[in-house]
Structure formats: C-alpha cells, structure tokens
Amino acid sequence: KNHLNTEKIGQVVHFENTVTSTQEIAHKHALNGAEEGTIIIADEQTVGRGRLGRAWHSPKGSGVWMSIILRPNIPPQKAPQLTLLAAVSVVQGIEEVTGLSAQIKWPNDILIDGKKVVGILTELQAEADRVNSVIIGIGINVNTPKEAFPKDIETIATSLKVEKGEEIERAYLVRAIMEKMEKLYHIYLEHGFAPIKLMWESSAASLGKRVRVRTITGELYGKAQGITEEGVLLVEDDEGTVHRVYSADIELPQK
Ligand code: BTN
C-alpha cells in the first residue's frame, strides 16, 4: 500500500528507470488486464512520444513521465473529455505544490507564462463502440534547467524549476496530481463532464481569444468560443461560421 490518499488512481504504480515510452508499457499492462488507476512512471524515456506523431524530449531525472490507465464505461468519442480532466488535475496539482498558476491551451498543453510545461497524450484501446481502456500520458518538465531544452523548443518550453526558481520534489507533484485526478474522476463518473468542463474553462488560456488553428488539412483563423460536451473546440471564423475542431495545434496571440 502506498501513501496516496486515493482509492483508485495510483493504487498500483510501476516505477521504471529507463523505458522506450510509458505509453507503450501502459498499453501492454492494459491489454493484460491491469486494474483501473494503474500508473507507469519512468525516470527516462528513450522514445517518448508526443501528439501528432512528434517526439517528446524526456531526459533522465528531470521530469515526470507517466501514463495512467483508466477504464471508464464510455464510447470512444468521449475519451477527449478525459484529456481535459487530466489537464485540470495537473493544473491543480502544480498549483498546490508550487504555487504557480498554470493555464491550459486546448486541448492539452499546460502553459506557465505562455510557455509549455506539460504535454498530455491520450490513447485508446476500444472494441466496437466501447472503450476498453484510456491511456493518459502526462509529461511534465519539472527540474529541467533552462539550457537543457533542445534548441528548437527553448523559446516555447519551460520547466517548473525555471519558473519557480527552485527544485521541485517530483514525488510530491505526482502525489498531488493523483489525488486531484481521483477527485475529478469520481465527479466525472457520478455527474458527467459538465462540472469538469466548468473547471477546465476557468483555466483555459484560449477562450474568447483569436487563435490560429492548424490541422492536418489546413489552417483557420477565428475566435475560440468554447468547447462542446465532448471536448471539441468551437472556433468562429471571420465570416461567422463555427468550426468544430477535433484535433489540431492552436496558436494564441502574442502578448
Ligand atoms: C504532447 O504535448 O505532444 C504530449 C506529450 C506527452 C508526453 C508524455 S510523457 C509520458 C507519456 N509517455 C509518452 O511517450 N508520452 C507521454
């Protein structure tokens, strides 16, 4: 029994030194019937993966690289709700442990001072129209020194240590996030997505603002109006047409 104040999330935790990707390990555990709430945490990932086929820089010892297995009884199209739930849990956990205020950029980037500090990647195992498991991967730049970020991301990425000016104990952070997630997941299972959506909106960096949306098929400029019950982003273009954005990168205006 660990020291977490939770019933589900994190009751089984697998700590690993070096893995390819905690997502990959979590998929295997999920296929082998791992209990809901099982977590895989690694000190280093050699092939950390990000959204849209990108790599995720996961150096040894300086971040939280983890994947959580959930097994909600929902259809696959509702899975993005859990990404948003995870994002709210991480924002709350970061605030509790560091006092830093973080914002969510749809769908799942967490920013401090406009720079990305957390990425979340949700992957599914589904059969027909039912979710078998949702694997939520969370990558947090915790104690990464400024100079350790690769050149191509150094202006857009940051770490909690850089923002706070001191080292953050990773175990405290993981624990806080698990406890927040446990609470939110109970709320979600009992009351659905609506209360989570409200919390998400209060931390959202993009709502009401002009954004540039880049999808695989093209670009779109418009005002981010809000998210739907499924977690889909609504963007109104200059002609007044509202677009439903399922998967994209969005850019916020420069401050
Ligand atoms: C993104 O912003 O593109 C999502 C990044 C997700 C990174 C995390 S780190 C833990 C888990 N394992 C992975 O390989 N990726 C996710």
Q: What ipTM score was computed for the predicted complex, to two decimals?
A: 0.99
How far from the centroid of its chain's Cα atoms is residue 114's Cα? Answer: 16
Which one, of 97, 86, 75, 96, lies nearest residue 37 by Cα?
Answer: 86
Q: Would you state the pLDDT for residue 254?
A: 59
What does the pLDDT average to over 223-242?
Answer: 92
Does the structural domain 210-251 have CATH classification 2.30.30.100? yes
Domain ranges of the chain: 13-202, 210-251
Q: Report the separation in Å between the CA atom of 50 and the middle of ligand 1, taken as the mean of its atom positions.
A: 5
* Nearest CA residue ID for atom 2, ligand 1: 119
pLDDT in tens, 22-39: 999 999 999 999 999 999
**Quick one: tokens of 233?**
């982003």
Helix or strand (DSSP H, E) at 243: strand 242-245
How many angstroms separate the alpha carbon of residue 119 from the centre of ligand 1?
Answer: 6
- pLDDT over 60 at 58, yes or no: yes
Task: Work out which ligand 1 atom sits closest to the CA atom of 139.
Answer: 9
Ligand 1 mean position, distance from CA 253 (Å): 25
Q: How far is the CA of 65 from the centre of ligand 1 (A)?
A: 7
With H, G, I as helix, E, B as strand and everything else as coil, classify residue 170.
helix
CA distance 236 to 252: 15
Band of pLDDT at residue 174, cut at 50, 70 and 90: very high
Atom of ligand 1 nearest to the CA of 45: 14
What is the best residue among 15, 18, 23, 141 to mutate for testing ligand 1's pocket, by most ligand atoms within 8 Å of CB? 23
Q: Which atom of ligand 1 is nearest to the CA of 116?
A: 2
Q: Which residue, 23, 135, 129, is CA-closest to 77?
A: 129
Find the residues whose C-beta lies inside 6 A of ligand 1. 21-23, 45, 48-51, 54, 56, 58, 65-67, 109, 119-121, 137-139
Which pLDDT belongs to residue 50? 94
Global confidence as pTM: 0.93
Q: Give the residue ranges of the annotated binding site for biotin.
A: 45, 49-51, 116
Fold for the domain defined by 13-202: BirA Bifunctional Protein; domain 2 (3.30.930)
